[in-house]
Amino acid sequence: MGRVQGKVVIVTGAASNPGLGHSAALSLAREGARLVVTDVDAAGAKRCADEIRNAGGEAISLPQDVTDEAAWKQVMATTVETFGRLDVLVNNAGIAVLKPLDQLTLEDFNRQIAVNLTSVFLGCKYAAVEMRKTGGGSLINLSSVAGLVGISTCVAYGASKGGVRLMSKSLAAELGKDGIRCNSVHPGVIWTNMQAGAGGGSRDNADALAAGLAIRRVGEPKDIANCILYLASDESDYVTGAEFTVDGGMTAT
């Protein structure tokens, strides 16, 4: 217990359960973090914060459209007003637009980039302002295995997640002098509501994918939460500009 004791953490996209943001928020709270959980689904974000508080932790929830610059400024202001600082940002919010090229519209592509990539830029930009005031912090950006290798129907999704990967490295190079670390996390087949939606709601499709992995099982949100917890903690204070692939060996061969 206490691996992130007292740290103030924002987790975006924390409403969906099972989901990566929800699991990360609960794991961080169990280890002593004070949470700001946000989502465009305000009711879902509130449920996540309530769950943390009911377990004895500290959390507030805020509605947030991560593509809205003004909303980012308000989230930062409320975070500092409530907890006095910001130590960690987990840029988790995202969507998956998975279509063959001939069915992918420009509107689809632009929406995918806005939610998955532009939002990370905005979050890091305004988080860095607050982190500089207190001597540093940790930016944790959720990418994907689709940001590492080409996957059919992932033209827009892969572009957004590949952008997150390289943006994170550039931010690490730029912000290190300010004590700010930046790393990306690349999940594989993880059983979440998003994965269920991509597979038509059936776990059978995910299990079929997992059968070919080195670790022959579908990942669980806690597998990603454990990686996020490490990057949020001082255990990783010499780690920046790195990419953490948590995929059961999916990209190993």
pLDDT tens-digit readout, 22-52: 999 999 999 999 999 999 999 999 999 999 9
The whole-angstrom separation of Cα 56 and Cα 78 is: 21
- Supply the pTM of this predicted model: 0.96
> According to the model, what pLDDT value does residue 199 have?
63
**Can you tell me the distance from the alpha carbon of 95 to that of 79, in angstroms, rounded to the nearest whole number?**
24
Count of residues in the chain: 253
pLDDT of residue 170 exceeding 90: yes
d(CA 91, CA 46) in angstroms, rounded, equals 18
Tokens of 20: 């990566």
Does residue 207 or residue 133 have the better pLDDT?
A: 133
- pLDDT(61) > 90: yes
Average pLDDT of span 135-147 = 98
**pLDDT value of position 171:** 99
Q: Taking the CB of residue 237, how many other CB atoms lie within 10 A of it?
A: 11
The residues spanned by each domain of the chain are 8-246
pLDDT at 246: 98
Is the backbone peptide bond immediately before 187 cis, with ω within 30 degrees of 0?
A: no
Q: Token pair of 162, please?
A: 């590949």
Using CA atoms, how far apart are residues 165 and 141, in angstroms rounded to an integer? Answer: 8
User: For residue 2, what are its two tokens?
Assistant: 């206490």
For residue 160, what pLDDT is reported?
A: 98
Report pLDDT for 49.
Answer: 98
Report strand pairing: 34-39 vs 58-63.
parallel
CA 16 to chain centre: 12
What is the spatial distance between Cα 30 and Cα 145, in angstroms, rounded to a whole number? 28
Q: Which of 126, 157, 230, 238 is catalytic?
A: 157
Give the per-residue pLDDT at 212.
Answer: 83
* CATH of 8-246 among 3.40.50.720, 3.40.50.170, 3.60.21.10, 3.30.565.40: 3.40.50.720
The region of weakest confidence among 73-82, 181-190, 209-218, 222-231 is 209-218
**238 a catalytic residue:** no
pLDDT of residue 201: 64
For the segment 172-193, the average pLDDT, to the nearest whole number, is 96
